[in-house]
Structure 1
Amino acid sequence: MLGFTQLVLCDVEGEGICTDASTHNFSGLPGFEASAAGERGVSFLENQRILYTVPIVYEGSIFGVLAGERDKANMQALIATDGFDGNSVSCIIDRDSNVVISPTNLDFFFALDDLFVANKDPELASAVREMQANMQANVSGVIVFTTPDGVDVIMSYDPLETFDWVLLTILPADIISHDTDAYIQHTFRLSTAVIVLFSLILAVMCGIYYSHRRQLEHIAFVDPVTGGMNNARFQYSCRRVLDGAKPGAFTVVSLNLMDYRLINEIFGPKEGNDTLRHVMQVLGRHIRPDEAAARGEAGHFFLCLHEHREDAVIARLEEIRADVNAFNAQRETPYYLTLLAGAYLVQEPGLDITVMQDRADAARKSKPAENGRCAFYDAGITARMHLEKELVNLLDSSLANRDFKVYYQPKVRLRDGQVASAEALVRWQHPQKGFIYPSDFIPVFERSGDICRLDLYVFEEVCAMLAGRLAQGAPVFPVAVNLSRRHFQTTDFLQRFADIRDQYQIPGGLIELELTESIFFTVGDILNVKEAIRRMHELGFLCSLDDFGAGFSSLGLLKSFMVDSVKLDRSFFLDDSQRAHDVVESIVELARKLGIETVAEGIEAPEQVDFLRSIGCDLVQGYVYARPMPAEELEAWMRARHGGEVTQV
């Protein structure tokens, strides 16, 4: 490979990987240490192997060494010549007369060793001393002498420009006696050719090194979507500036482009990538020479700002927000990009950069932040993180001890006032911690992924309740069970639900799987969601869409996804204006035409019930009728409501 036996790529600690996939440590070798200090180097290994090394430099810093190895045979082949019918031999020595590369034919050199060591010929001894002085002075020359066995020999020495080496070429004098000058010149030309060839090899090696170095740097440090810094380069840059920084001098900021996945779904991946590039370009315009900006993953970005006050950080982020949305000035219909921010004021510069990023992330996720504003990391966030960890640790024992209780909230049919169905809701009554609110533990389990286990627990409890009523001959009604978007990360997750239902022998149509509208924007492949809904119906489940209207594409969802019912988000009923009423009435009318049942959730006032009945809404769920309650209380409530009888739905 480029005339080398093999190439080696080393880090600054000397750990290297060779082109034959083997690994070695080259620390301590003189050539490696020279290259680690920024110079070209050469090291002499065992068996007359030679290791050439050059530093790998990026932006003034050495982060590796590129090396090429030649073994003895390789070097001998390089310096060997076919001139003089093969009677000449060559070797390379250093300027202290130490042999670097021996020739393939050692006869002459064994004879020379005896002759020079004996040092009986004063004239030859003088010539040898002159040769040694010339080699030190980088001067070429020729020695003519007779070997102990009477052979007249000519030896030329030519200092090389590389590593203080000298090329020795020896041949019998009788070969060139008829035309000595011509052959000596020919020998010199061959020597020169070897030198030129060696220089060309080094030049090619350096050229390939610089080309590969640029490619490796691009792969290692450049984000393929935005063309800016990636996270690895960000961490490297942060470490360089923070190593010499005082506590509190810098701030690490986590930015998240809100609804980036929605942009991808509505406008397509190309527009989504263009948006990421736009944000990255804006960030690049707002950072200073000693600061850094990079994209992490998806719509997530990081900043390292030379700011130590919260108000200064907020002001910088407000400028960025304004610049990110400046394109709206030329749009007839604006589309504002929202950046959620969290920051960690770096009080411990020696911390791992990943820990700093995690703290900025934790601050961003700790509470809703206004666009352009920023949540800052503090000890309270750490306490909340510890609390979340504690809740996760309690999950296994609480599932085993059945500390989770399933409550049911009825859905009343407005047409006749009968209970048409119910929604299963989970409550956590821990023996030591007491009552733990769903708003405290459900988001924690969503983030940890444990929500899937809790969903299956609730589902099985519902199946057991329905199976008990069926065994007693008691009336039953459909029950809705919430389904986390986390399930969609598992192939054919619905089969697990179907197996549990069949285990309890629950007929089809009695269990409704309830999806939140946001699931359609957080699961990557919309086709997978459509297939999952088709699979639900195939397995005998009903499917409903919760929080309808909380997102941005609800009407499109009604057209594309074959759900059985939709639950109007409670936010519709917080506004009592005529405009809000018209929107609700239009949705109910559209759902009726599509054959989709409508459920109004969060209803608390009789006046709201009257309005919903007047526009033809099918079901109402809320405190206006009943709060969530255990199955036994629900039974008693229904008997009291219907005069002691509970009829089959």
Structure 2
Amino acid sequence: MNDVLMTFFDLGQYSQAPLPGNYNYWLVALSYLVAFIASFTALKIFERAHRHRSVSQQRTWTLITAIVAGIGVWSMHFIGMIAFQLPVVVSHSIGLTLASIAPAIIGNYFAYSLHLSADKLASFKRVRNQVSSKTNILSGTILGAGIGLMHYLGMEAMQLNAELLYSPYWFATSIVIAVALGILAMSTYSRSNTIRGAKSELRKIQFVTALIIAAAISGMHYVAMLAARFYANETTISLTTGAQHQHLWLIYAIVIAVALIALISWVSSVIDRRFQHNYRAIRQSDKRIRELAFNDALTGLPNRRSLLDYLSQQQQEIPEDEHLVLFLLDIDKFKVLNNTLGPTLGDLLLQSVTHRLERVNLNVHMVARPSSNEFAVVARVRKSNNPVQAQSHALSMAKTLQQELQAPYSLKDYRHQCSMSLGATVISDLTKSSEDILVQAALALAEAKRNGMGEIRLYHPEMADAIEKRVKLESDLRHAIETRTGLELYVQPQLNENRTVIGAEALIRWHHSERGMVSPAEFIPLAEETGLIIGLGDLINEQACQIIRQWQQLGLNDWVLSINVSAPQFQQLDFVDKLNSLLKHYEVPAGQLKLELTESVLMQNLDEVIHKINELKQLGIQFALDDFGTGYSSLSYLMKLPFDVLKIDVSFVRDMFQSKQKEAIVQTIVQLAHNLGLKVVAEGVETEKHFDYLSSLGCDYFQGYLFSKPVAEPEFRQQNQ
């Protein structure tokens, strides 16, 4: 054992003094500078490994860090060996010299990899300090061992005619210095884990760490050189002073190589930082796109797509003792608020409703905005053996929601109070798709709105049957309009105070091939909701012109035919042109066609409406304001629009003797119309008492069941010719 140790350590086996050596201190300083630059560059590159989330990217940047750091250790050793001058010829084995870089790279790779792993574990606060201290000791030891192994392997690459032995004391000291300074460097660098976002602090820590690592490399090297003893033997040839040829160009070459590696590494780090910046920008854009795809831009609430995804997820996760409930809420007359006060206040109202829903004191799990003025609320109720009880709980929650949302809103300087219609469905069948659930709630909401404003309805299966019938009816109505079959204008006579027929109002009727006569109260709203009212209106206009043409051929030139025009129809850009074409085609004379408009037509764009009315009046068309008295702004319309006739709504005429207020309204309308130079038509005249009273007020024309119900046009002519 002692013989083996004597081949490596100086245990006094040589009686002569070791060969003297001296240093070129400029090269010593250069060796430390190279070690520092390489270490600092390696730490800068290692920062990239922290920034990446991909494991493969982390390993790649850690390997680049280890290569740069390892080359720095190797270069420092090589320059340090050149700086040490012996009075003998010295050369180096190429193979061992190149192989000696491996321990430095491997040691650095494992040391930095441990640090990267510890950074992930540091999120667990309970073990943070323990993990950090153990990691610093282990990684510092590995780093010091790699530096030491590189040095002593590099020393073995020396080729000279002398014996190389090591002082045991200085050998141990060199290893201790390498490991101790390695642990100190890793401990210093571990502080960067806590301030990763603060760039100035991070640079300071990297700088100090690089100084310590350079000290570890240089300190270990030069202490190890103190441990080295070179003893002359019989073949040793001494050199005269100054005769040693040390190939200084190799020093400059390796300095340039290290500088190039550092520059390339730095550039690659900058490029990667740019890529990371672009990647973050792309991630932020992707996040924004996802927000727009899954969230409503105005309120920030989940949109319809998110709601459907959430419902699907909840059906899988809901506890067995609970029911899922979906509420759909609709702001009544929201479009009126937008049209009258502007979209800004409409947006404020939507945001205010959102804030209330998010604060409501119920078992609410999600609030969403699936469409313009609709909100969805997902909640849970306790499951019961009695299904009625779950529905009762849902109804109670719906009333609470409604009460919360119907309290007045402060919209800038405007105090607004609105009603909320609400539909709800209790989800008992977990096999239903989220689309089906939303459809159920929508059916309940539609039923609530059909029954008036501020109503609440719970879904029941009969609603699905009703919607199926509605879809079938829509299809049949579309077919009837396209084929011009089954739709016929009936007429109800209008008479003067002498009971002489002066014209009629045309009313559309539908003879269904299977259902028989379909009520206008059923198919007219359907046409308005589905957009079929445009085609239906065109059909009415054409049939009205045909009827007037027949009257002309029979010499009935004094009768005026009134037809109702819907708001969507009147708003068509080509409405005037299409009607003008019909008038010319059927040769309708001026004054025999009258258009009846409701206030819904007038509430859109008043200037455009006035322009269209004036254009049509030039074609000889008369105008009547229908359902007068039911709106809140009729007087302002009368001042601006060139109407010929006012029609008193049937709701006032029919019940005017049961209400003093309605009787007074009828009297006021007649007086107002005459003062404005307009004729008055009273609808809903059903008794002689109605006729006599209206006649006494000076009403001009009368229409109602007292004279005739709406009949087919041939029957009307037969009765009144």
Report the TM-score, using the length of structure 1 for normalisation: 0.68
Distance 1:215 1:466 in 2: 61
After superposition, the Cα gap between the structure-2 partners of 1:338 and 1:202, relative to the gap in structure 1 and judged at 3 Å, is same
Distance 1:534 1:175 in 2: 104
1:601 CA drift (Å): 1.3
Q: Does 1:632 align with 2:714?
A: yes
1:594 CA drift (Å): 2.3
Q: Aligned runs of 1:362-377 on 2, under 5 Å?
A: 362-366=443-447, 368-369=450-451, 372-377=454-459
Q: Secondary structure at the match of 1:547?
A: strand
After superposition, the Cα gap between the structure-2 partners of 1:543 and 1:297, relative to the gap in structure 1 and judged at 3 Å, is farther
Q: Which residue of 1 aligns with 2:341?
A: 267
Q: 1:604 aligns with which of 672, 683, 686?
A: 686
1:388 CA drift (Å): 2.0
Distance 1:376 1:271 in 2: 31
1:410 CA drift (Å): 0.9
Q: Does 1:41 align with 2:54?
A: yes
Name the aligned partner's letter for residue 96 of structure 2.
E
- Is the 2:407–2:417 contact (alpha carbons within 8 Å) kept by the matching residues of 1? no
Distance 1:534 1:176 in 2: 101
Q: Does 1:177 align with 2:250?
A: yes
Distance 2:571 2:436 in 1: 27
Q: 1:515 aligns with which of 597, 611, 614?
A: 597
After superposition, the Cα gap between the structure-2 partners of 1:299 and 1:488, relative to the gap in structure 1 and judged at 3 Å, is farther
Q: Which residue of 2 aligns with 1:9?
A: none
Q: After superposition, give the CA deviation of every residue in 1:281-322 in whole Å (9 maximum; x if it has no partner).
A: 222222767522233444332222324733223322322332
Q: After superposition, give the CA deviation of every residue in 1:140-170 in whole Å (9 maximum; x if it has no partner).
A: 888999xxxxxxxxxxxxxxx9xxxxxxxxx
Q: Which residue of 2 aligns with 1:186?
A: 259
After superposition, the Cα gap between the structure-2 partners of 1:209 and 1:325, relative to the gap in structure 1 and judged at 3 Å, is same
1:376 CA drift (Å): 2.3
1:504 CA drift (Å): 0.9
1:495 CA drift (Å): 1.8
Q: Secondary structure at the match of 2:711?
A: coil
Name the aligned partner's letter for residue 639 of structure 2.
K
Q: Which residue of 1 aligns with 2:274?
A: 201
Q: Does 1:357 align with 2:431?
A: no
After superposition, the Cα gap between the structure-2 partners of 1:402 and 1:251, relative to the gap in structure 1 and judged at 3 Å, is same
Distance 1:125 1:332 in 2: 82
Deviates more, 1:330-339 or 1:569-578: 330-339
Q: Does 1:291 align with 2:365?
A: yes
Q: Which residue of 2 aligns with 1:257?
A: 331
Distance 1:329 1:121 in 2: 86
Distance 2:505 2:460 in 1: 39
Q: Which residue of 2 aligns with 1:451?
A: 533
1:128 CA drift (Å): 6.9
After superposition, the Cα gap between the structure-2 partners of 1:545 and 1:443, relative to the gap in structure 1 and judged at 3 Å, is same
- Is the 2:307–2:370 contact (alpha carbons within 8 Å) kept by the matching residues of 1? no
Q: Secondary structure at the match of 2:408?
A: helix
Q: Does 1:405 align with 2:488?
A: yes
Q: Which residue of 2 aligns with 1:5?
A: none
Q: 1:483 aligns with which of 549, 553, 565?
A: 565
Distance 2:579 2:692 in 1: 38
RCO greater where, 1 or 2, for CA within 8 Å and sep 6 or more?
2
Q: Secondary structure at the match of 1:304?
A: strand
- Is the 2:327–2:398 contact (alpha carbons within 8 Å) kept by the matching residues of 1? no
Q: Secondary structure at the match of 2:425?
A: strand
Structure 1: give runs of 5+ residues left out of the alignment.
1-38, 44-51, 54-74, 80-91, 97-119, 146-160, 162-172, 640-649
Q: Secondary structure at the match of 2:328?
A: strand
Task: Kindly indicate which of the two structures has a greater share of residues assigned to strand.
Answer: 1
1:454 CA drift (Å): 2.3
Distance 1:329 1:227 in 2: 20
Q: 1:434 aligns with which of 500, 516, 533?
A: 516
Name the aligned partner's letter for residue 40 of structure 1.
R
Q: Say how many residue pairs are matched.
A: 508
Q: 1:311 aligns with which of 392, 395, 399?
A: 392
Distance 2:413 2:346 in 1: 20
Q: Which residue of 1 aligns with 2:641?
A: 561
Name the aligned partner's letter for residue 442 of structure 2.
D
After superposition, the Cα gap between the structure-2 partners of 1:291 and 1:583, relative to the gap in structure 1 and judged at 3 Å, is same
Name the aligned partner's letter for residue 619 of structure 2.
L
Distance 2:521 2:356 in 1: 37
- Is the 1:469–1:476 contact (alpha carbons within 8 Å) kept by the matching residues of 2? no
Distance 1:417 1:333 in 2: 51
- Is the 1:253–1:344 contact (alpha carbons within 8 Å) kept by the matching residues of 2? yes
Q: Does 1:341 align with 2:422?
A: yes
After superposition, the Cα gap between the structure-2 partners of 1:609 and 1:232, relative to the gap in structure 1 and judged at 3 Å, is same
After superposition, the Cα gap between the structure-2 partners of 1:456 and 1:93, relative to the gap in structure 1 and judged at 3 Å, is same
1:129 CA drift (Å): 5.6
Q: Which residue of 2 aligns with 1:323?
A: 404
1:135 CA drift (Å): 6.3
- Is the 1:317–1:372 contact (alpha carbons within 8 Å) kept by the matching residues of 2? no
Computing the radius of gyration from Cα coordinates, the structure with the larger value is 2
Identity of aligned residues (%): 23
1:483 CA drift (Å): 1.7
Deviates more, 1:541-550 or 1:184-193: 184-193
Distance 2:620 2:371 in 1: 39
After superposition, the Cα gap between the structure-2 partners of 1:332 and 1:527, relative to the gap in structure 1 and judged at 3 Å, is closer
1:422 CA drift (Å): 0.8
After superposition, the Cα gap between the structure-2 partners of 1:358 and 1:552, relative to the gap in structure 1 and judged at 3 Å, is farther
Task: Kindly indicate which of the two structures has a greater share of residues assigned to helix.
Answer: 2
Name the aligned partner's letter for residue 411 of structure 1.
Q
Q: Which residue of 1 aligns with 2:353?
A: 279
Distance 1:287 1:398 in 2: 51
Q: Which residue of 1 aligns with 2:317?
A: 244
Distance 1:333 1:136 in 2: 69
- Is the 2:405–2:420 contact (alpha carbons within 8 Å) kept by the matching residues of 1? no
1:271 CA drift (Å): 2.6
- Is the 1:340–1:373 contact (alpha carbons within 8 Å) kept by the matching residues of 2? yes
Deviates more, 1:230-239 or 1:123-132: 123-132
Distance 2:566 2:505 in 1: 15
Q: 1:492 aligns with which of 569, 574, 581?
A: 574
Q: Secondary structure at the match of 2:323?
A: coil
1:261 CA drift (Å): 2.0
- Is the 1:325–1:336 contact (alpha carbons within 8 Å) kept by the matching residues of 2? yes
- Is the 1:176–1:183 contact (alpha carbons within 8 Å) kept by the matching residues of 2? no
Distance 1:179 1:124 in 2: 17
After superposition, the Cα gap between the structure-2 partners of 1:205 and 1:42, relative to the gap in structure 1 and judged at 3 Å, is farther
- Is the 2:503–2:559 contact (alpha carbons within 8 Å) kept by the matching residues of 1? yes
Distance 1:467 1:446 in 2: 28
- Is the 1:424–1:479 contact (alpha carbons within 8 Å) kept by the matching residues of 2? yes
Q: Which residue of 2 aligns with 1:549?
A: 629
Distance 1:336 1:491 in 2: 35
Distance 2:431 2:95 in 1: 69
Q: Aligned runs of 1:125-136 on 2, under 5 Å?
A: 126-127=99-100, 130=103, 133-134=106-107, 136=109
Q: Secondary structure at the match of 1:634?
A: helix
- Is the 1:514–1:545 contact (alpha carbons within 8 Å) kept by the matching residues of 2? yes
1:604 CA drift (Å): 1.4
- Is the 1:246–1:349 contact (alpha carbons within 8 Å) kept by the matching residues of 2? no
Distance 2:398 2:692 in 1: 48
Distance 2:349 2:410 in 1: 16
Q: Secondary structure at the match of 2:489?
A: strand
- Is the 2:332–2:454 contact (alpha carbons within 8 Å) kept by the matching residues of 1? no
Q: Aligned runs of 1:68-107 on 2, under 5 Å?
A: none
Distance 1:246 1:455 in 2: 53
Structure 2: give runs of 5+ residues left out of the alignment.
1-51, 68-92, 113-142, 155-189, 191-245, 383-389
Q: After superposition, give the CA deviation of every residue in 1:557-616 in whole Å (9 maximum; x if it has no partner).
A: 323333322222222232532222222222222222223322221221222222222222
Q: Does 1:535 align with 2:618?
A: no
- Is the 1:466–1:476 contact (alpha carbons within 8 Å) kept by the matching residues of 2? no
Q: Which residue of 2 aligns with 1:588?
A: 670
- Is the 1:278–1:324 contact (alpha carbons within 8 Å) kept by the matching residues of 2? no
Distance 2:430 2:454 in 1: 26
1:337 CA drift (Å): 0.9
Q: Which residue of 2 aligns with 1:123?
A: 96
After superposition, the Cα gap between the structure-2 partners of 1:370 and 1:307, relative to the gap in structure 1 and judged at 3 Å, is farther
- Is the 1:260–1:298 contact (alpha carbons within 8 Å) kept by the matching residues of 2? no
1:421 CA drift (Å): 2.0
